[in-house]
Structure 1
Amino acid sequence: MSATIPFTDGLMLRYLRPANVKALLLPATDPERERVRSLFASVYDPSFLDVRTVESVDVVRTEFQSAVHASLSLHGSWDKSIPTTEQARATVEIPATPQVHWIDMSLETVVAVKAAPAGGLLASADAEAWAAAGGAGAPQGEFERPYQLQYEDPPPFDPAAPARRLPLRVSTLFFDRLDLVDALRRLSQAKRAVDAASPQPEVHDGGTMLASSAWLAVFPATATDEPSQATEQLVGDLLATQGFVAVFETAP
Protein backbone atom coordinates (compact mmCIF):
# COMPACT_ATOMS: atom_id res chain seq x y z
CA MET A 1 0.00 0.00 0.00
CA SER A 2 1.30 3.42 -0.93
CA ALA A 3 2.57 5.51 1.97
CA THR A 4 0.84 8.57 0.48
CA ILE A 5 -2.60 7.27 1.41
CA PRO A 6 -3.94 9.27 4.38
CA PHE A 7 -4.10 7.42 7.67
CA THR A 8 -7.89 7.52 7.94
CA ASP A 9 -8.36 6.35 4.33
CA GLY A 10 -5.88 3.53 4.90
CA LEU A 11 -7.86 2.37 7.93
CA MET A 12 -11.03 2.05 5.88
CA LEU A 13 -9.16 -0.07 3.35
CA ARG A 14 -7.67 -2.16 6.16
CA TYR A 15 -11.02 -2.80 7.80
CA LEU A 16 -12.59 -3.95 4.56
CA ARG A 17 -11.19 -7.33 5.60
CA PRO A 18 -13.31 -8.94 8.35
CA ALA A 19 -10.21 -10.49 9.91
CA ASN A 20 -8.75 -7.01 10.51
CA VAL A 21 -11.97 -5.81 12.14
CA LYS A 22 -11.91 -8.85 14.42
CA ALA A 23 -8.27 -8.08 15.27
CA LEU A 24 -9.25 -4.50 16.14
CA LEU A 25 -11.79 -5.73 18.68
CA LEU A 26 -9.86 -8.78 19.88
CA PRO A 27 -6.14 -8.05 19.43
CA ALA A 28 -3.68 -10.87 20.06
CA THR A 29 -1.99 -8.73 22.73
CA ASP A 30 -5.22 -8.65 24.77
CA PRO A 31 -5.81 -12.24 25.96
CA GLU A 32 -8.23 -11.12 28.69
CA ARG A 33 -10.26 -9.23 26.07
CA GLU A 34 -10.22 -6.06 28.12
CA ARG A 35 -10.92 -3.92 25.06
CA VAL A 36 -14.25 -5.55 24.37
CA ARG A 37 -15.05 -5.67 28.08
CA SER A 38 -14.53 -1.88 28.27
CA LEU A 39 -16.71 -1.29 25.23
CA PHE A 40 -19.36 -3.58 26.67
CA ALA A 41 -19.31 -1.86 30.07
CA SER A 42 -19.93 1.54 28.46
CA VAL A 43 -23.33 0.29 27.25
CA TYR A 44 -24.38 -2.40 29.74
CA ASP A 45 -24.22 -1.13 33.32
CA PRO A 46 -21.70 -3.32 35.22
CA SER A 47 -23.73 -2.92 38.41
CA PHE A 48 -26.48 -4.97 36.79
CA LEU A 49 -24.44 -7.20 34.48
CA ASP A 50 -21.20 -8.47 36.02
CA VAL A 51 -19.32 -9.82 33.00
CA ARG A 52 -16.69 -12.40 33.92
CA THR A 53 -15.57 -13.60 30.49
CA VAL A 54 -16.03 -12.63 26.86
CA GLU A 55 -16.43 -15.81 24.87
CA SER A 56 -16.67 -14.42 21.34
CA VAL A 57 -17.51 -11.39 19.21
CA ASP A 58 -19.39 -11.72 15.92
CA VAL A 59 -19.42 -8.72 13.58
CA VAL A 60 -22.82 -8.71 11.90
CA ARG A 61 -22.50 -5.54 9.82
CA THR A 62 -19.81 -3.00 8.98
CA GLU A 63 -20.58 0.45 7.58
CA PHE A 64 -18.17 3.25 6.71
CA GLN A 65 -18.87 6.99 6.90
CA SER A 66 -22.32 6.90 8.46
CA ALA A 67 -24.03 10.28 8.74
CA VAL A 68 -25.85 11.23 11.92
CA HIS A 69 -27.86 14.44 11.86
CA ALA A 70 -27.96 16.43 15.07
CA SER A 71 -31.50 16.81 16.37
CA LEU A 72 -33.07 20.05 17.53
CA SER A 73 -35.86 20.25 20.12
CA LEU A 74 -38.03 23.32 20.58
CA HIS A 75 -40.33 23.91 23.57
CA GLY A 76 -42.78 26.74 24.05
CA SER A 77 -45.94 27.73 25.88
CA TRP A 78 -48.90 30.04 25.35
CA ASP A 79 -51.10 31.39 28.13
CA LYS A 80 -54.56 32.88 27.77
CA SER A 81 -56.48 34.77 30.47
CA ILE A 82 -60.27 34.56 30.43
CA PRO A 83 -62.38 36.54 29.57
CA THR A 84 -59.83 38.71 27.76
CA THR A 85 -58.06 37.35 24.72
CA GLU A 86 -54.31 37.56 24.40
CA GLN A 87 -52.08 36.51 21.58
CA ALA A 88 -48.34 35.86 21.56
CA ARG A 89 -46.14 35.62 18.48
CA ALA A 90 -42.56 34.49 18.21
CA THR A 91 -40.08 34.01 15.41
CA VAL A 92 -37.62 31.12 15.56
CA GLU A 93 -34.81 30.71 13.07
CA ILE A 94 -33.71 27.14 12.39
CA PRO A 95 -30.75 26.30 10.12
CA ALA A 96 -31.86 24.77 6.84
CA THR A 97 -29.36 21.95 7.21
CA PRO A 98 -28.74 20.43 10.65
CA GLN A 99 -25.20 19.67 11.72
CA VAL A 100 -23.95 16.31 10.51
CA HIS A 101 -21.64 14.06 12.48
CA TRP A 102 -19.76 11.40 10.55
CA ILE A 103 -19.02 8.01 12.07
CA ASP A 104 -15.97 6.62 10.29
CA MET A 105 -16.91 2.99 10.95
CA SER A 106 -20.07 1.61 12.53
CA LEU A 107 -20.10 -2.00 13.69
CA GLU A 108 -23.11 -4.05 14.65
CA THR A 109 -21.82 -6.91 16.75
CA VAL A 110 -23.09 -9.73 18.96
CA VAL A 111 -20.99 -10.41 22.04
CA ALA A 112 -21.20 -13.74 23.86
CA VAL A 113 -20.48 -13.23 27.57
CA LYS A 114 -20.65 -15.20 30.76
CA ALA A 115 -21.89 -13.02 33.59
CA ALA A 116 -22.48 -13.43 37.31
CA PRO A 117 -25.76 -12.30 38.88
CA ALA A 118 -25.24 -8.80 40.25
CA GLY A 119 -28.02 -8.74 42.83
CA GLY A 120 -30.09 -11.00 45.05
CA LEU A 121 -33.82 -11.38 45.60
CA LEU A 122 -35.67 -9.50 48.33
CA ALA A 123 -35.50 -11.62 51.50
CA SER A 124 -37.39 -9.52 54.05
CA ALA A 125 -38.77 -6.09 54.96
CA ASP A 126 -38.27 -5.28 58.64
CA ALA A 127 -39.96 -2.18 60.07
CA GLU A 128 -38.55 -2.44 63.60
CA ALA A 129 -34.94 -2.94 62.41
CA TRP A 130 -35.22 0.16 60.24
CA ALA A 131 -36.52 2.30 63.11
CA ALA A 132 -33.79 1.05 65.45
CA ALA A 133 -31.06 1.71 62.89
CA GLY A 134 -32.37 5.09 61.76
CA GLY A 135 -33.19 6.68 65.07
CA ALA A 136 -33.52 10.43 64.79
CA GLY A 137 -32.08 10.32 61.28
CA ALA A 138 -34.86 8.16 59.90
CA PRO A 139 -36.76 9.80 57.00
CA GLN A 140 -39.74 11.88 58.01
CA GLY A 141 -42.68 13.25 56.11
CA GLU A 142 -45.67 12.24 54.06
CA PHE A 143 -43.79 9.65 51.97
CA GLU A 144 -41.95 7.95 54.84
CA ARG A 145 -41.30 4.24 54.26
CA PRO A 146 -40.31 2.76 57.66
CA TYR A 147 -38.88 -0.51 56.34
CA GLN A 148 -35.40 -1.97 56.20
CA LEU A 149 -35.04 -4.18 53.13
CA GLN A 150 -32.84 -7.25 53.30
CA TYR A 151 -31.63 -8.92 50.11
CA GLU A 152 -30.24 -12.38 49.66
CA ASP A 153 -26.72 -12.81 48.39
CA PRO A 154 -26.65 -13.36 44.62
CA PRO A 155 -26.04 -16.93 43.53
CA PRO A 156 -22.40 -17.77 42.78
CA PHE A 157 -20.99 -17.46 39.30
CA ASP A 158 -21.32 -20.68 37.35
CA PRO A 159 -18.58 -20.86 34.67
CA ALA A 160 -20.34 -23.85 33.12
CA ALA A 161 -23.53 -21.89 32.46
CA PRO A 162 -24.30 -21.09 28.80
CA ALA A 163 -22.99 -17.79 27.46
CA ARG A 164 -25.41 -14.97 26.80
CA ARG A 165 -25.40 -13.36 23.36
CA LEU A 166 -26.05 -9.62 23.53
CA PRO A 167 -26.03 -6.97 20.79
CA LEU A 168 -23.38 -4.26 20.93
CA ARG A 169 -23.07 -1.35 18.55
CA VAL A 170 -19.55 0.05 18.24
CA SER A 171 -19.12 3.51 16.72
CA THR A 172 -15.55 4.25 15.63
CA LEU A 173 -13.84 7.54 14.84
CA PHE A 174 -10.46 7.73 13.10
CA PHE A 175 -7.97 10.48 13.97
CA ASP A 176 -4.93 11.21 11.79
CA ARG A 177 -3.02 12.81 14.70
CA LEU A 178 -3.07 12.87 18.48
CA ASP A 179 -5.08 15.96 19.41
CA LEU A 180 -6.94 15.18 22.62
CA VAL A 181 -9.03 18.35 22.70
CA ASP A 182 -10.32 17.75 19.19
CA ALA A 183 -10.81 14.02 19.82
CA LEU A 184 -12.83 14.46 23.01
CA ARG A 185 -15.01 17.15 21.44
CA ARG A 186 -15.72 15.07 18.35
CA LEU A 187 -16.43 11.96 20.37
CA SER A 188 -18.73 13.77 22.80
CA GLN A 189 -20.66 15.55 20.06
CA ALA A 190 -21.07 12.40 17.98
CA LYS A 191 -22.16 10.39 21.01
CA ARG A 192 -24.86 12.92 21.89
CA ALA A 193 -26.10 12.92 18.28
CA VAL A 194 -26.24 9.12 18.10
CA ASP A 195 -28.02 8.81 21.44
CA ALA A 196 -30.55 11.44 20.39
CA ALA A 197 -31.16 9.84 16.98
CA SER A 198 -31.41 6.28 18.30
CA PRO A 199 -34.38 4.69 20.07
CA GLN A 200 -34.34 4.97 23.83
CA PRO A 201 -32.05 2.34 25.36
CA GLU A 202 -33.91 -0.69 26.67
CA VAL A 203 -34.06 -1.72 30.30
CA HIS A 204 -31.87 -4.77 30.70
CA ASP A 205 -31.26 -6.98 33.74
CA GLY A 206 -32.98 -4.47 35.98
CA GLY A 207 -31.01 -1.44 34.82
CA THR A 208 -31.26 1.02 31.97
CA MET A 209 -28.62 0.69 29.26
CA LEU A 210 -26.09 3.49 29.54
CA ALA A 211 -25.86 4.47 25.87
CA SER A 212 -26.95 3.50 22.38
CA SER A 213 -23.42 2.68 21.29
CA ALA A 214 -19.93 1.99 22.54
CA TRP A 215 -17.24 4.34 21.22
CA LEU A 216 -13.80 3.53 19.86
CA ALA A 217 -11.17 6.16 18.94
CA VAL A 218 -8.34 5.03 16.65
CA PHE A 219 -5.11 7.05 16.66
CA PRO A 220 -1.84 6.50 14.75
CA ALA A 221 0.89 4.72 16.68
CA THR A 222 4.13 6.65 16.20
CA ALA A 223 6.75 4.54 17.98
CA THR A 224 7.27 1.51 20.19
CA ASP A 225 9.63 2.93 22.84
CA GLU A 226 8.64 3.23 26.49
CA PRO A 227 7.78 6.97 26.46
CA SER A 228 5.36 6.44 23.58
CA GLN A 229 3.78 3.45 25.28
CA ALA A 230 3.36 5.48 28.47
CA THR A 231 1.68 8.27 26.50
CA GLU A 232 -0.70 5.80 24.88
CA GLN A 233 -1.61 4.43 28.31
CA LEU A 234 -2.33 7.93 29.62
CA VAL A 235 -4.45 8.72 26.57
CA GLY A 236 -6.40 5.52 27.12
CA ASP A 237 -6.92 6.38 30.78
CA LEU A 238 -8.14 9.88 29.90
CA LEU A 239 -10.65 8.69 27.31
CA ALA A 240 -11.85 5.96 29.66
CA THR A 241 -12.96 8.59 32.17
CA GLN A 242 -15.46 9.77 29.52
CA GLY A 243 -16.58 6.28 28.53
CA PHE A 244 -14.47 5.99 25.36
CA VAL A 245 -11.88 3.40 24.36
CA ALA A 246 -8.62 4.44 22.69
CA VAL A 247 -6.69 2.29 20.19
CA PHE A 248 -3.34 3.00 18.54
CA GLU A 249 -2.78 1.46 15.12
CA THR A 250 0.26 1.50 12.85
CA ALA A 251 -0.14 3.31 9.54
CA PRO A 252 -1.55 1.01 6.83
Structure 2
Amino acid sequence: MTSFRDRVMLELSVPAAFGALLLPAGDPDRQLIRTMLAATYDLSAVRIDRVRDVTVGELELQHPLFATDRKTGTWTQTVPSFARTELALDGTTSRNPVWIDILARLRVTVVAEIDPAGAESVVSEAADSFSTLDEFRRQFPFIDLDAFMAEHGISTVEQLRDAFQYLLTTVRIRAAEPFDPDDPGNAYTLNVALAALAVDPFDVAEGLRAAQLVRETSRELTGAPQHAIPAECTAAYAVAVVFAEEGPGESGITSAAVQRLFAGAGVAALFLNTN
Protein backbone atom coordinates (compact mmCIF):
# COMPACT_ATOMS: atom_id res chain seq x y z
CA MET A 1 0.00 0.00 0.00
CA THR A 2 1.37 3.41 -0.97
CA SER A 3 2.08 5.66 2.00
CA PHE A 4 1.02 9.29 2.18
CA ARG A 5 4.67 10.36 1.97
CA ASP A 6 5.02 8.37 -1.26
CA ARG A 7 1.85 10.00 -2.63
CA VAL A 8 3.24 13.43 -1.81
CA MET A 9 6.49 12.74 -3.65
CA LEU A 10 4.74 11.20 -6.66
CA GLU A 11 2.16 13.97 -7.07
CA LEU A 12 4.32 16.97 -6.16
CA SER A 13 7.49 16.00 -8.02
CA VAL A 14 6.14 18.00 -10.98
CA PRO A 15 6.83 21.77 -10.60
CA ALA A 16 3.36 22.75 -11.86
CA ALA A 17 1.62 20.54 -9.29
CA PHE A 18 3.84 21.78 -6.48
CA GLY A 19 3.21 25.39 -7.48
CA ALA A 20 -0.56 24.85 -7.54
CA LEU A 21 -0.41 23.57 -3.95
CA LEU A 22 1.34 26.78 -2.87
CA LEU A 23 -1.31 29.00 -4.50
CA PRO A 24 -4.72 27.61 -3.49
CA ALA A 25 -7.84 29.47 -4.60
CA GLY A 26 -8.81 30.02 -0.98
CA ASP A 27 -5.68 32.09 -0.35
CA PRO A 28 -6.05 35.16 -2.61
CA ASP A 29 -3.73 37.27 -0.43
CA ARG A 30 -1.02 34.59 -0.67
CA GLN A 31 -0.60 34.30 3.08
CA LEU A 32 1.21 30.98 2.63
CA ILE A 33 3.87 32.62 0.48
CA ARG A 34 4.08 35.60 2.85
CA THR A 35 4.70 33.19 5.73
CA MET A 36 7.56 31.58 3.80
CA LEU A 37 9.12 34.94 2.97
CA ALA A 38 8.88 36.17 6.57
CA ALA A 39 10.50 32.95 7.78
CA THR A 40 13.43 33.39 5.39
CA TYR A 41 14.08 37.14 5.33
CA ASP A 42 14.15 40.08 7.71
CA LEU A 43 11.43 42.22 6.12
CA SER A 44 11.48 45.03 8.69
CA ALA A 45 12.35 47.56 5.95
CA VAL A 46 10.02 46.04 3.36
CA ARG A 47 6.23 46.14 3.02
CA ILE A 48 4.99 43.52 0.60
CA ASP A 49 2.01 44.94 -1.27
CA ARG A 50 1.20 41.73 -3.12
CA VAL A 51 2.70 38.47 -4.30
CA ARG A 52 2.63 38.59 -8.08
CA ASP A 53 4.11 35.26 -9.15
CA VAL A 54 5.73 32.08 -7.85
CA THR A 55 7.96 29.94 -10.04
CA VAL A 56 8.96 26.46 -8.90
CA GLY A 57 12.42 25.54 -10.11
CA GLU A 58 14.45 22.54 -9.02
CA LEU A 59 12.72 19.89 -6.90
CA GLU A 60 14.89 17.50 -4.90
CA LEU A 61 13.31 14.44 -3.28
CA GLN A 62 14.49 13.12 0.09
CA HIS A 63 17.18 15.69 0.76
CA PRO A 64 19.38 14.76 3.78
CA LEU A 65 20.03 17.52 6.30
CA PHE A 66 22.90 16.97 8.72
CA ALA A 67 23.24 18.91 11.95
CA THR A 68 26.37 21.06 12.06
CA ASP A 69 28.21 22.85 14.80
CA ARG A 70 31.04 25.35 14.98
CA LYS A 71 34.02 25.10 17.30
CA THR A 72 36.04 28.26 17.82
CA GLY A 73 39.35 28.84 19.54
CA THR A 74 42.66 30.65 19.41
CA TRP A 75 46.24 29.61 18.75
CA THR A 76 48.86 31.79 20.43
CA GLN A 77 52.57 31.93 19.69
CA THR A 78 54.92 33.67 22.14
CA VAL A 79 58.37 33.02 20.64
CA PRO A 80 60.23 34.11 18.66
CA SER A 81 57.50 36.75 18.31
CA PHE A 82 53.95 37.09 19.53
CA ALA A 83 51.17 35.98 17.19
CA ARG A 84 47.53 35.15 17.75
CA THR A 85 45.29 33.27 15.34
CA GLU A 86 41.56 32.71 15.62
CA LEU A 87 40.26 29.34 14.45
CA ALA A 88 36.77 28.19 13.47
CA LEU A 89 35.89 24.61 12.55
CA ASP A 90 32.54 23.63 11.07
CA GLY A 91 31.52 19.99 11.08
CA THR A 92 28.61 17.58 11.29
CA THR A 93 27.51 16.36 14.71
CA SER A 94 25.64 13.26 13.58
CA ARG A 95 25.61 10.75 10.75
CA ASN A 96 21.84 10.41 11.07
CA PRO A 97 20.24 13.06 8.85
CA VAL A 98 16.90 14.79 9.11
CA TRP A 99 15.13 14.04 5.85
CA ILE A 100 13.39 16.75 3.84
CA ASP A 101 10.77 15.04 1.69
CA ILE A 102 10.84 17.69 -1.05
CA LEU A 103 13.33 20.54 -1.25
CA ALA A 104 11.91 23.12 -3.66
CA ARG A 105 13.76 26.10 -5.09
CA LEU A 106 11.26 28.93 -5.53
CA ARG A 107 11.47 32.31 -7.20
CA VAL A 108 8.88 34.63 -5.71
CA THR A 109 8.06 37.90 -7.45
CA VAL A 110 6.53 40.51 -5.17
CA VAL A 111 5.42 44.11 -5.45
CA ALA A 112 6.91 45.84 -2.44
CA GLU A 113 7.44 49.24 -0.88
CA ILE A 114 10.97 49.77 0.42
CA ASP A 115 11.80 52.00 3.37
CA PRO A 116 14.23 54.56 1.88
CA ALA A 117 16.13 54.71 5.20
CA GLY A 118 18.75 57.30 5.96
CA ALA A 119 18.55 60.90 7.08
CA GLU A 120 17.70 63.85 4.89
CA SER A 121 19.41 66.31 7.24
CA VAL A 122 21.17 66.38 10.61
CA VAL A 123 21.47 69.73 12.40
CA SER A 124 23.18 70.26 15.77
CA GLU A 125 22.80 73.49 17.72
CA ALA A 126 24.23 74.74 21.00
CA ALA A 127 21.73 74.58 23.85
CA ASP A 128 23.42 76.46 26.69
CA SER A 129 21.14 79.49 26.99
CA PHE A 130 19.08 78.11 29.88
CA SER A 131 19.02 80.23 33.05
CA THR A 132 17.01 77.94 35.33
CA LEU A 133 16.90 74.23 36.03
CA ASP A 134 13.32 74.09 34.76
CA GLU A 135 14.44 75.51 31.39
CA PHE A 136 17.06 72.76 31.17
CA ARG A 137 14.41 70.14 31.90
CA ARG A 138 12.21 71.50 29.10
CA GLN A 139 15.08 71.41 26.60
CA PHE A 140 16.27 67.95 27.68
CA PRO A 141 13.18 66.06 28.89
CA PHE A 142 14.92 62.72 28.34
CA ILE A 143 17.58 63.47 31.02
CA ASP A 144 16.97 62.69 34.69
CA LEU A 145 18.37 66.04 35.84
CA ASP A 146 18.49 65.27 39.56
CA ALA A 147 20.45 62.06 38.99
CA PHE A 148 22.70 63.80 36.43
CA MET A 149 23.58 66.62 38.84
CA ALA A 150 24.19 64.21 41.71
CA GLU A 151 26.46 62.04 39.58
CA HIS A 152 28.64 65.03 38.58
CA GLY A 153 28.57 66.90 41.89
CA ILE A 154 26.59 69.84 40.50
CA SER A 155 24.31 71.87 42.76
CA THR A 156 23.52 75.12 40.89
CA VAL A 157 22.35 76.08 37.41
CA GLU A 158 25.59 78.04 36.91
CA GLN A 159 27.67 74.94 37.61
CA LEU A 160 25.42 72.94 35.29
CA ARG A 161 25.89 75.44 32.47
CA ASP A 162 29.68 75.61 32.87
CA ALA A 163 30.31 71.88 33.35
CA PHE A 164 29.58 70.69 29.81
CA GLN A 165 28.83 71.81 26.28
CA TYR A 166 25.21 70.96 25.51
CA LEU A 167 23.96 70.26 22.00
CA LEU A 168 20.53 69.53 20.57
CA THR A 169 20.48 67.56 17.32
CA THR A 170 17.51 67.47 14.97
CA VAL A 171 17.42 64.57 12.52
CA ARG A 172 15.01 64.73 9.60
CA ILE A 173 14.30 61.24 8.27
CA ARG A 174 14.26 60.82 4.51
CA ALA A 175 10.66 60.63 3.31
CA ALA A 176 9.55 57.87 0.96
CA GLU A 177 8.30 58.67 -2.51
CA PRO A 178 4.57 58.02 -3.12
CA PHE A 179 4.20 54.28 -3.65
CA ASP A 180 2.97 53.16 -7.07
CA PRO A 181 2.18 49.42 -7.14
CA ASP A 182 2.04 49.52 -10.95
CA ASP A 183 5.59 50.85 -11.29
CA PRO A 184 7.78 48.01 -12.67
CA GLY A 185 10.57 49.32 -10.46
CA ASN A 186 8.64 48.15 -7.40
CA ALA A 187 8.68 44.50 -8.49
CA TYR A 188 11.34 42.29 -6.93
CA THR A 189 12.19 38.60 -7.20
CA LEU A 190 13.30 36.68 -4.12
CA ASN A 191 14.77 33.19 -3.91
CA VAL A 192 13.29 30.82 -1.34
CA ALA A 193 14.44 27.29 -0.53
CA LEU A 194 11.35 25.50 0.78
CA ALA A 195 11.65 22.33 2.86
CA ALA A 196 8.36 20.41 2.51
CA LEU A 197 7.59 17.64 5.01
CA ALA A 198 4.78 15.10 4.63
CA VAL A 199 2.97 14.24 7.89
CA ASP A 200 0.36 11.49 8.14
CA PRO A 201 -1.81 10.61 9.94
CA PHE A 202 -3.00 14.15 10.63
CA ASP A 203 -1.29 15.41 13.78
CA VAL A 204 -0.78 19.11 14.46
CA ALA A 205 1.86 18.59 17.14
CA GLU A 206 3.79 16.12 14.99
CA GLY A 207 3.77 18.58 12.11
CA LEU A 208 5.14 21.40 14.24
CA ARG A 209 7.79 19.13 15.73
CA ALA A 210 8.95 18.04 12.29
CA ALA A 211 9.15 21.66 11.14
CA GLN A 212 11.04 22.78 14.24
CA LEU A 213 13.48 19.89 13.85
CA VAL A 214 14.38 21.04 10.34
CA ARG A 215 14.67 24.62 11.53
CA GLU A 216 16.96 23.75 14.44
CA THR A 217 19.10 21.37 12.38
CA SER A 218 19.66 24.03 9.71
CA ARG A 219 20.24 26.90 12.15
CA GLU A 220 23.98 27.11 11.39
CA LEU A 221 23.39 27.14 7.64
CA THR A 222 23.05 30.40 5.75
CA GLY A 223 20.87 31.19 2.79
CA ALA A 224 22.00 32.82 -0.42
CA PRO A 225 22.61 36.59 -0.14
CA GLN A 226 19.77 38.72 -1.45
CA HIS A 227 20.56 41.82 -3.50
CA ALA A 228 17.12 42.62 -4.90
CA ILE A 229 15.86 44.29 -1.73
CA PRO A 230 17.43 45.42 1.57
CA ALA A 231 16.43 42.23 3.38
CA GLU A 232 18.88 40.00 5.20
CA CYS A 233 18.45 36.26 4.71
CA THR A 234 17.76 34.93 8.22
CA ALA A 235 17.28 31.22 7.51
CA ALA A 236 18.49 28.74 4.93
CA TYR A 237 15.04 27.19 4.52
CA ALA A 238 11.40 28.10 4.80
CA VAL A 239 9.44 25.10 6.09
CA ALA A 240 6.06 23.74 4.98
CA VAL A 241 4.18 20.75 6.35
CA VAL A 242 1.97 18.80 3.93
CA PHE A 243 -1.15 17.17 5.37
CA ALA A 244 -3.85 15.13 3.67
CA GLU A 245 -6.77 17.43 2.84
CA GLU A 246 -9.27 15.16 4.59
CA GLY A 247 -7.20 15.02 7.78
CA PRO A 248 -8.61 18.05 9.63
CA GLY A 249 -12.22 17.05 8.92
CA GLU A 250 -11.79 13.77 10.72
CA SER A 251 -10.39 15.54 13.79
CA GLY A 252 -12.94 18.35 13.98
CA ILE A 253 -10.25 20.98 13.34
CA THR A 254 -10.51 23.27 10.31
CA SER A 255 -7.65 23.65 7.86
CA ALA A 256 -7.88 27.44 8.28
CA ALA A 257 -7.27 27.10 12.02
CA VAL A 258 -4.26 24.87 11.37
CA GLN A 259 -2.81 27.35 8.88
CA ARG A 260 -3.21 30.23 11.33
CA LEU A 261 -1.51 28.24 14.08
CA PHE A 262 1.38 27.21 11.85
CA ALA A 263 1.77 30.73 10.40
CA GLY A 264 2.23 32.01 13.95
CA ALA A 265 5.18 29.64 14.24
CA GLY A 266 6.58 30.73 10.87
CA VAL A 267 5.56 27.49 9.13
CA ALA A 268 3.28 27.03 6.11
CA ALA A 269 0.60 24.32 6.34
CA LEU A 270 -0.35 22.78 2.98
CA PHE A 271 -3.22 20.40 2.28
CA LEU A 272 -3.05 17.85 -0.53
CA ASN A 273 -6.19 16.28 -1.98
CA THR A 274 -5.48 12.55 -2.04
CA ASN A 275 -8.87 11.42 -3.41
* TM over 0.5, shorter chain: yes
SS in 1 for 2:143: helix
| Residue in structure 2 matched with residue 66 of structure 1 by the alignment | 63
| Residue in structure 2 matched with residue 234 of structure 1 by the alignment | 257
Q: Are 1:215 and 2:239 an aligned pair? A: yes
C-alpha distance in 2 between matches for 1:203 and 1:137:
44
Amino acid aligned to 1:118: D
Q: 1:54 to 1:5 in 2, by over 3 A?
A: same
Q: Are 1:35 and 2:32 an aligned pair? A: yes
Q: 1:119 to 1:191 in 2, by over 3 A?
A: same
Amino acid aligned to 1:113: V
Q: Between 125-134 and 51-60, report the one with greater CA deviation.
A: 125-134
C-alpha distance in 2 between matches for 1:73 and 1:18:
35
Q: Between 147-156 and 52-61, report the one with greater CA deviation.
A: 147-156
- Taking the TM superposition and a 5 Å limit, the aligned residue runs for 1:9-48 are 9-48=6-45
From 125, 135, 149, give the equivalent of 2:142: 135
| Residue in structure 2 matched with residue 172 of structure 1 by the alignment | 196
Amino acid aligned to 1:251: T
Q: Between 53-62 and 146-155, report the one with greater CA deviation.
A: 146-155
Amino acid aligned to 2:214: A
| Residue in structure 1 matched with residue 213 of structure 2 by the alignment | 189
SS in 1 for 2:52: strand
C-alpha distance in 2 between matches for 1:134 and 1:194:
47
Amino acid aligned to 2:261: L
C-alpha distance in 1 between matches for 2:73 and 2:193:
35
Q: How far apart are residue 59 of structure 1 and its match?
A: 1.1
Tell me which structure has the larger Cα radius of gyration.
Answer: 2
- Unaligned runs of at least 5 residues, structure 2: 78-90, 128-135, 152-166
Q: Are 1:149 and 2:156 an aligned pair? A: no
Q: 1:151 to 1:64 in 2, by over 3 A?
A: same
- Unaligned runs of at least 5 residues, structure 1: 81-93
* 1:147-198 Cα distance to aligned partner (Å, 9 max, x none): 4533133222212222222211111111012333332222112112224234
Q: Between 170-179 and 69-78, report the one with greater CA deviation.
A: 69-78
Q: How far apart are residue 16 of structure 1 and its match?
A: 2.3
Q: 1:98 to 1:24 in 2, by over 3 A?
A: same
SS in 2 for 1:208: coil
Percentage of pairs with the same residue: 26
Q: 1:207 to 1:36 in 2, by over 3 A?
A: closer
| Residue in structure 1 matched with residue 53 of structure 2 by the alignment | 56
Q: Are 1:243 and 2:240 an aligned pair? A: no
Amino acid aligned to 1:67: P
Q: CA RMSD in A?
A: 3.5
SS in 2 for 1:73: strand
C-alpha distance in 2 between matches for 1:205 and 1:133:
38
| Alignment TM-score, normalising by the size of structure 1 | 0.76
Q: Between 50-59 and 128-137, report the one with greater CA deviation.
A: 128-137
Answer whether contact 1:57 1:112 (CA < 8 A) is retained.
yes
Q: 1:110 to 1:95 in 2, by over 3 A?
A: closer
* 1:1-50 Cα distance to aligned partner (Å, 9 max, x none): xxx32111101111123321111111222222222122122222232221
